[in-house]
Chains A and B, each alone.
Chain A
Amino acid sequence: MPSTSRKKRLGREELQGIVELCESIEDKGLNPFLVDIEDLVAIMREYFKEWEKPDELILDAEALNRISTIIKLQSEWVKHRATSLYTDPFLIEDKLRTLNVQEIVEVFMKTWHPIVELEQISIHGLDESLKYWESLPPLDERWKNIGFQEWETGTVTLKEMVKQGLLADEAFSERLENFWEELKGDAGDDGKIDYWNFIGAETYKETVDRAYLTSFLVTYGYATLEIHPLEEDIFVKPYQKPVSSLGKEQLVSVPIPVSYEEWLRWRESREV
């Protein structure tokens, strides 16, 4: 005679088995009559008096719930078989495999009555289009900047940059001033320096850091970018005095990818 704990363990395994069996029938769409409901209920009845703890009772309730789902599936199965739509699935599957594409299409076309529907613009769509048209800059303005994409600038706080280790915890303006001085020193006789030669550093992390500072130099009017789209050259030109172009001309954001691959290419070209 098994001890109580052994019986409980066996009972739990049985209940778990019932839940899994019912789940697989439900998920795979198998014939629900493969399950003998009376057998399952008998098993549940046999162990029911052993359950005391909440988790045991929950498992018992779940098994019962699964059995009730199978009974529902059995009911649907019977109903479906009773309808005129019921045909042995294997017969249909076999037909679908033996008929060629043309034959299947000919059958389907006889039973297909497609909906007639016409698309038209709605008042809402018209309203949205008018708003878009109003906010759309004229072509000459857009073509002025051809070759560059305009992007909405995102923002990042100094704290976040320090937290991510991109900036040292020193006064940002002081660092920017020092960086500006460095740029002025590095610029050649023509007053400019290649963008990558300026931001490029021994490590990728430092390169990103310098690119970030350069973007501030340009935004705050300490320097400008000279872009030659055909040659794909970008130069940084420092101003001797900060220039504010705010409100005087349309500011354009120029995204310059500073990816790890770009940095590797730059470093290799330096080594050559």
Chain B
Amino acid sequence: MARKPRSLRRKTYYAMKMKRAVHLLFYKRHSKPGAKGWELRRELGSDYIKVTNLLDDYLENLDLQVKTVFEEGSPPENPTREELNRARFFITLKGSLKTKEAKLIGWRIDDIAGLAVSIAYIISKRGKASRKEVGDVLRNKLPNWRVDINLNRYIRYGYLNEDENGQLYLDWRTRTEVDEKALVDLLLRTESQSANQTSEERDTIGT
């Protein structure tokens, strides 16, 4: 029987590895989703980065991506093998969801707004703010009884972390899912329509 050409063998090899990577990255096996670099290396071999890059290219058509989150926080320019082994790999949405789509994944609009406000406020406070302060900001837009429920939910999901002194920090899920810089930039650029309307109405009345 004739042997497959070398390029075909390589293709089959990586197709198999990609399938295995999909199983590892999509299905949740620990308390956190995704997989650590060292787990991928153990299951996929030393060229696991090539496999995840191929998978990333493949998933792009489906508006998904392989996201690497480094322990050190901000991604290093040229990550070392050690840094990659310690990093966690996730599958995330590459683009963004429409507001009405968020309901499909179980989020109420108020809950998303509360999460956005909590994250933005903590970023503005250099990554740390007291639970009371964040709660006070949320009470501005959310009913009082929802504030604690929501904060506990964000903590449970891994968006926020709370220490024993009641200080809130951004946690692993925020670092993975939220483009913090873009969030702050967009917030500052967005003009409130309701505020504009009020000033326009004021001008009209004035004239």
Contact = CB atoms under 8 A, between A and B. Distances in A.
A96 B121 contact: yes
Nearest to A90: B124
Contacts, number: 156
Contacts of A118: 26-28
Given A92-B188, A103-B193, A109-B102, A115 B177 contact: yes
Given A91-B188, A92-B120, A93-B121, A113 B109 contact: no
Interface stretch (A80-88, A127-135, A158-166): A80-88
Contacts of A109: 96-99, 102, 112
Nearest to B176: A115
A246 interface: no
A240 B77 CA distance: 88
Interface string A94-131: 01111111111111111111111111101000000000
B120 A96 contact: yes
Contacts of A28: 130
A97 B183 contact: no
B20 interface: no
B64 interface: yes
B137 interface: yes
Contacts of A96: 117, 120-121, 137, 140, 187
Nearest to A81: B126
A29 interface: yes
Interface string B93-112: 11111110010010001101
A101 B113 contact: yes
Q: How large is the interface on B (under 10, 10 to 19, 20 to 34, 35 or more residues)?
A: 35 or more
A114 B193 contact: no
B128 to A, nearest CB: 6
Interface string B146-187: 000000000000000000010000000100111111111011
Contacts of B110: 101
A98 B121 CA distance: 14
Nearest to A122: B29
Contacts of B140: 96-97
B96 A111 contact: yes
A229 B26 CA distance: 51
A76 interface: yes
A11 B190 CA distance: 53
A69 to B, nearest CB: 14
B178 A92 contact: no
A103 B190 contact: yes
Interface of B: 26-29, 33-34, 64-65, 67, 90-99, 102, 105, 109-110, 112-113, 115-117, 120-121, 123-126, 128-130, 137, 140-141, 165, 173, 176-184, 186-188, 190, 192-195
Given A92-B188, A111-B96, 11 more contacts: A84-B181, A95-B190, A101-B110, A104-B187, A105-B113, A107-B187, A108-B112, A113-B92, A113-B94, A116-B90, A118-B28
